[in-house]
Amino acid sequence: MGTHSGVNCPRSALRTDILQALGASDDLPQDLLEPEYGPTWTRDGIDGVELTWTVPDQSTATEAWFLKPATTCSGDLPAVLLMHGHDGTKFYGKEKVADGPDGPAPGIPELRKHAYDGRSVAAGLVAAGFAVLVHDAFPWGSRRIRWDEMPERARKAADMDERRYEAAAREHEHGLAKVAALTGSSLAGQVLHEDLVALNVLRSLPGVDPSRIATTGFSGGGARVTHLLAAADVTAAVVTAMTSTFIDIADGHADDTTWLMITPGLPAVCDWPDVVASGFPTPLLVQFARDDTHFGIEGMRDAEAALERAYAGTEALVTQWFSHGHQFSTEMQDEVALWLQRHV
């Protein structure tokens, strides 16, 4: 599938074609966005500060949390741009994987119980010695579509009940993807642009070593990591439970797959594993869940083989398999922290 092979196509050409298919660009505003600093807090060994910035041409500000060890010694820290996932929940973004000044947001402990073994992903990374930036991406959290801005079709999917916001947001995701495609972009491309801005912000923050920045994400967050690899150079990257082939997704799994992974025109360029490997030779950890209902085992195995071909002759690729369903388990999170400590 696609016009390129991960082995024979020059990396720069493949990345350019991926970005064109996404309707995205790695061009950023010439003037670095200066985030505004909000409340600060210290809890459970973590120093946190709320940041906000507004991406040009966007009317709604992006909210983010910057977290680091409370007992930081002198010197700049390695950092992680942590991508929140889809999780079937758009009311929240960063809150799913990190805690702010008031602790876990309402309903988040239950979500984490099922998807994250009850853990805060960001807290684990900070405990491993990293500074962490996690920001809301469109259309999640502070960048979500407000109820009164939802089209009637989406609100009807929620029985016109604002308390069923997530049902409306799920329906409206299709509409957002359609509008993006009709305007020469894609939902994934729009999110990628915001993630590139966040990466630039992270590089500029005091106490961060800009030469030692990684990115990691689970599920929809893994899709965001994948697209970022096609657009920017980072020190290392982790994609968790978000790697298969387009054929596999088309064969009965598309309904469970976010538009962040499905972009019209991208399969004509290359297969999904080629996008994941587009950052070669960036050190890359890819985690699979054997019982992942979002993908078929054959598709995941084919994707792993494609990644191994793309990274052949190097030791920069590590793949790991876990015996459970679509979740970011404690074991997975611990492995990510250990691997990042060795590569960032």
**Mean pLDDT, range 249-261, rounded to an integer:** 94
Conformational region of residue 233, where left means phi above 0, alpha means psi within -120 to 50, and beta covers everything else: beta
Question: Residue 8: pLDDT above 90?
Answer: no
**Mean pLDDT, range 188-196, rounded to an integer:** 96
pLDDT tens string 62-83: 999 999 999 866 789 999 999 9
Give the pLDDT confidence score for residue 6 in this predicted structure.
Answer: 43
Residue ranges covered by each domain of the chain? 11-343
Question: Residue 151: pLDDT above 80?
Answer: yes
Mean pLDDT, rounded, of the chain: 94
pLDDT tens string 19-57: 999 999 777 766 678 999 999 999 999 999 999 999 988
Give the pLDDT confidence score for residue 71 in this predicted structure.
Answer: 80
The structure's pTM equals 0.95
Give the pLDDT confidence score for residue 3 in this predicted structure.
Answer: 42
Residue 263 CA to residue 265 CA, distance in Å, equals 6
Q: Output the CA–CA distances (angstroms, integers) from residue 218 to 83, 165, 273, 289, 308, in the order listed.
A: 8, 23, 16, 11, 21
Question: Residue 256: pLDDT above 60?
Answer: yes
Question: What class has domain 11-343?
Answer: alpha beta
Instruction: Let me know: does 253 contact 295? Beta carbons within 8 Å.
Output: yes
E strands in the chain: 36-43, 46-53, 62-69, 77-83, 131-135, 208-218, 236-240, 284-289, 317-322
Give the pLDDT confidence score for residue 99 in this predicted structure.
Answer: 98
| Residue 11 amino acid letter | R
DSSP string, 255-277: GGS-TTT--TTGGGT--HHHHHG
**Mean pLDDT, range 12-19, rounded to an integer:** 94
Give the pLDDT confidence score for residue 59 in this predicted structure.
Answer: 84
Q: Output the CA–CA distances (angstroms, integers) from residue 40 to 43, 50, 51, 302, in the order listed.
A: 10, 7, 10, 46
N-terminal to C-terminal alpha carbon distance within the chain: 33
Give the pLDDT confidence score for residue 1 in this predicted structure.
Answer: 53
Give the pLDDT confidence score for residue 7 in this predicted structure.
Answer: 42
Give the pLDDT confidence score for residue 341 in this predicted structure.
Answer: 98
Instruction: Let me know: does 205 contact 193? Beta carbons within 8 Å.
Output: no
* pLDDT above 70 coverage of the chain, percent: 96
Tokens 């405990």 correspond to what residue? 127
Q: Spell out a b/e string for 118-132, using b for 16 or more CB atoms within 10 Å of the CB, else e.
A: ebbbbbbbbebbbbb
